[in-house]
Structure 1
């Protein structure tokens, strides 16, 4: 089965974020040091996209540690990237039953829900709740803008694309998608500003190729 092409972040690009998550949340004194080492081994396999080997370790860690969130996060992401969206949703909801305001689990739940175009409204509501708690979540702004574009709510989309432009990690994608949206609305001069920015900061041909995925990363 072919893994899901990532909108953001892909397994490699988000490896630093995951490593920080594992260090910040995973170093619980109640978890054996050997299990922490195994989690990092699972993480290394995840970066290499050796998902079966990574999941084998993660499922064992989840069974052994009832309330340890990091292996559940990583397991949910693997399920997402291998198109097992129902399993991914269940995993992220399980995490939220343990820690209802976990921002990373909320964000990935929204991404997973958004794989179903019929649930775009549900994803928008969840992303708005995330932003109510943390207005500076750049990724949530970007994902909400993509969902709003799909839902044909251009004002909402433009507003959140502009908020997403405050970040740097997804700046090119944000300029590109905002430019495309403005172009579709007949606002060519405003669109050109963003499309030209993207062209200037991409390698030759990259701006024309762009991001062909939808908001879910499919």
Structure 2
């Protein structure tokens, strides 16, 4: 995919994030690696409405999270994105949301439990909560890296959710599944509780999803 196509796909992902209720207003952010450009990352600009953004409004940051190209300031969470890409060579895209149920778990400081096949398959286990640090700081970036581990999503205490994936659709899916599972967990507790999948079951489901599911 060339950079023009990547810009359009990033913008579609940002709008999908909004349309699916994962963010409101100008919060949240989306990024992806630029193929063939070592260390360069395409990311949404800071504090701009997704509905009015055009492909040329997206900006480029370097591996330190600093602006490399573009006419607007990059997302305030650029250090977070840069740190996650540096830590995970398998990650090609990142979506950061402030969805209601996942953020409720982040505020409560409780992991989203591995109670559905979907969360095991897509995320690879429970979604952990990184300790609180102010937005846009290196402390937040380091905490997110540590608590993400090798999974597909991590929560930021008192803040929101970060989903990662090999591409934009996979990163967005991680956010969708985390939010759905958080809502199911709340509803299941109202109905009497839930039993989590065992680590062995999670590993089996993840392996099946990665190696046997789909075409």
The structure with the greater share of residues assigned to helix is 1
What TM-score, normalized to structure 2?
Answer: 0.28
The structure with the greater share of residues assigned to strand is 2
What TM-score, normalized to structure 1?
Answer: 0.27
